[in-house]
Amino acid sequence: MEFENSASAMTLPKASGEAVDEDRRGFVKKLTVTALTLGIGGAVVECGRFLKPNVLYEPSRVFKVGELSRFAIGSRTVIEGRGIEVVRERDGLHAISLVCTHLGCLIKPVENDPEVGYVCPCHGSTFARQGEVLGGPAPRDLPWYEMYLDHTGALVVDASKVNQKRTKLVV
Ligand code: FES
């Protein structure tokens, strides 16, 4: 009787040890699968990010500025956020850059001055109404951009193309 008791006492810890081993193996297996899953998932995400170009998308340089009726003859209209001004005169329209040719500051239109059309707040360059440099460190005239009327009658400025000949859009 005593022997049987000691035998059962011997087998019980052994069975319990196997159960502990099984639990440990299961835990290590789950840990391995989890680590592999996270590793592979991370690698896939990183590959996806690598394949996607890391660029900042700028707004299109071809944009509508509104219906023709928005621009009365004799008006000068600053297009907010685009760095241009649309000028309408009797003989046509043109779009002129408001970005200083010195270091790129946004210049300010000057009203009621027959000579100076624009002044740069940064270093004081001045430009004529047609964009020619009058004074200051700016090295070049303000460029004009191409513009046209689209099929809906909206005025479109193409700021990717400089209007080299400075021709006005006749409407
Ligand atoms: S940025 Fe306009 S004068 Fe310098």
| Sign of the torsion angle spanned by Cα atoms 156, 147, 94, 138 | positive
> Residue 12's pLDDT is what?
54
Digitized pLDDT (tens) for each residue of the chain, 171 residues in all? 444 554 444 555 556 777 778 888 888 999 999 999 999 999 988 888 878 877 778 889 999 999 999 999 999 999 999 999 999 999 999 999 999 999 999 999 999 898 999 999 999 999 999 999 999 999 999 999 999 999 999 999 999 999 999 999 998
Which CATH number characterizes residue 146's domain?
2.102.10.10
pTM of the model as a whole? 0.69
Please indicate, yes or no, whether residues 66 and 146 belong to a single structural domain of this protein.
yes
Please indicate, yes or no, whether residues 157 and 74 belong to a single structural domain of this protein.
yes
Mutate to test the pocket of ligand 1, among 118, 123, 141 (most ligand atoms within 8 A of CB): 123
Give the Cα-Cα-Cα angle 156, 157, 161 (nearest 5 degrees).
135
Partners of residue 154 on adjacent β-strands: 67
Please indicate, yes or no, whether residues 27 and 88 belong to a single structural domain of this protein.
no
Domain of residue 72, residue span: 62-162
> Residue 87's pLDDT is what?
97
In a domain, 26, yes or no: yes
> Residue 47's pLDDT is what?
84
| Sign of the torsion angle spanned by Cα atoms 9, 10, 16, 17 | positive
Q: Which of 127, 122, 152 is nearest to 139 (CA)?
A: 127
Q: 62 in ligand 1 pocket by Cβ < 6 Å?
A: no
Please indicate, yes or no, whether residues 42 and 69 belong to a single structural domain of this protein.
no
In a domain, 87, yes or no: yes
Q: Report the number of distinct structural domains present in the chain.
A: 2
